[in-house]
Amino acid sequence: MTSQIKTFFLLAVLTAIILFLGGILGGRAGLMFAFIIAMVMNLGSYWYSDKIVLSMYKAEELTPGDSPQLHKMVEELAANAGIPKPRIFLVPQDSPNAFATGRNPENAVVAVTSGIMRILSPEELRGVLAHEIGHITNRDILIQTVAAVMASAIMMIANMIQWATLFGFGGSDDDEGVNPIAAIAIAMIAPIAATLVQMAISRSREYLADETGARISHDPKALAGALYKLDATARNRPMNAAPATENMFIVNPFSGGNMANWFSTHPPIEDRIARLNSMASRV
């Protein structure tokens, strides 16, 4: 299953969970209220995501005079991808990592840590930049926001179901209604399922960004080599990062992906490297 098809399928699963919970809750007004609140919260963060994240990490914009080689790489890769050149920011942290943000290609940002500038070769750094530009090209920030809206709505509706069940409200339109114990159990399981689906979407987009980055850089092995170095370093030098932004980085900023795969926002590094090496063998 390709990454694009998998993403569509997972978004459909989130939609199905929302509709299923709506059927249990019964009232359309409550369902719509929860969805609207979730949408407002997440779209607000999406619209201002670049400012929020860059401020959080004390990132400073780099001018062409500050880092001419970096700007030249980004300009070339953006041209290969057919998007405007993103702005470039430096995050003052020793742990090597990178991320992209911005609501669309016209307002995009690529950020790199000071640590990544020291440990990667120019070819490997170019591979990382290509990966981040791949995220921008694939509109991953928008897709992640849609997934977050749905997951947040599921959590809010699940809470409404629990409260409604405790006080005897809600239920389906038929005569028998829904078993209260079953309703509470479903309301507890649904947010966990939504979180797992949201993480699966994040992993799928990482694979796609690797593929896109390898294509626009014409050098899959350079990105594979960068991922190996970044993962090895992240295990010993975790980043001072907020858990809510974990999915934004090219590698897990905390432990290099030691968590169980189902509960990780990043695919296993070994799988990503193997896919990139496979692409290199076909070039």
pLDDT of residue 83 exceeding 80, the answer is yes
pLDDT of residue 257 exceeding 60, the answer is no
**Token pair in block for residue 200:** 């699966």
If you average pLDDT over every residue of the chain, what do you get? 84
Q: Of 132, 206, 246, 270, which is the active-site residue? A: 132
Per-residue pLDDT at 34: 64
Are residues 252 and 266 in contact, defined by beta-carbon separation less than 8 angstroms? Answer: yes
pLDDT of residue 275 exceeding 80, the answer is yes
Name the band, by pLDDT with cuts 50, 70 and 90, for residue 259: very low
pLDDT tens-digit map of 2-20: 666 777 777 778 777 777 7
Per-residue pLDDT at 172: 47
pLDDT of residue 203 exceeding 80, the answer is yes
Of residues 260 and 34, the one with the higher pLDDT is 34
Q: Rounded to an integer, what distance in angstroms lies between the CA atom of residue 18 and that of residue 31?
A: 9
pLDDT of residue 122 exceeding 70, the answer is yes
Contacts (Cβ under 8 Å, ≥6 apart) of 270: none
Q: How do beta strands 98-101 and 87-91 pair?
A: unpaired
Residue 269 CB coordination number (10 Å): 20
The strand order across the sheet containing 60-61 reads 60-61, 87-91, 109-113, 98-101
Q: What is the DSSP string of 72-133?
A: HHHHHHHHHHTSPPPEEEEE--SS--EEEE-SSGGG-EEEEEHHHHHHS-HHHHHHHHHHHH
CA separation, residue 165 to residues 86, 189, 237 (Å):
49, 15, 47
Per-residue pLDDT at 31: 65
pLDDT of residue 106 exceeding 50, the answer is yes
CA separation, residue 228 to residues 93, 150, 272, 276, 280 (Å):
19, 33, 10, 12, 16
pLDDT tens-digit map of 138-178: 998 878 777 777 777 788 888 878 777 776 655 544 445 56
Of residues 181 and 266, the one with the higher pLDDT is 266
pLDDT of residue 111 exceeding 70, the answer is yes
Of residues 181 and 19, the one with the higher pLDDT is 181
Name the band, by pLDDT with cuts 50, 70 and 90, for residue 258: very low
Per-residue pLDDT at 124: 97
Per-residue pLDDT at 273: 96
**Token pair in block for residue 223:** 């990105």
Q: Rounded to an integer, what distance in angstroms lies between the CA atom of residue 197 and that of residue 193?
A: 6
Per-residue pLDDT at 256: 46
61 is catalytic: no
Q: What are phi and psi of 108, to 5 degrees?
A: -90, 155
Q: Rounded to an integer, what distance in angstroms lies between the CA atom of residue 170 and that of residue 165?
A: 7
Q: What are phi and psi of 87, to 5 degrees?
A: -70, 155
Per DSSP, what are the bridge partners of residue 109?
Answer: 87, 101
- Taking residues 41-49, report their average pLDDT: 69
Of residues 95 and 151, the one with the higher pLDDT is 95
Per-residue pLDDT at 263: 63
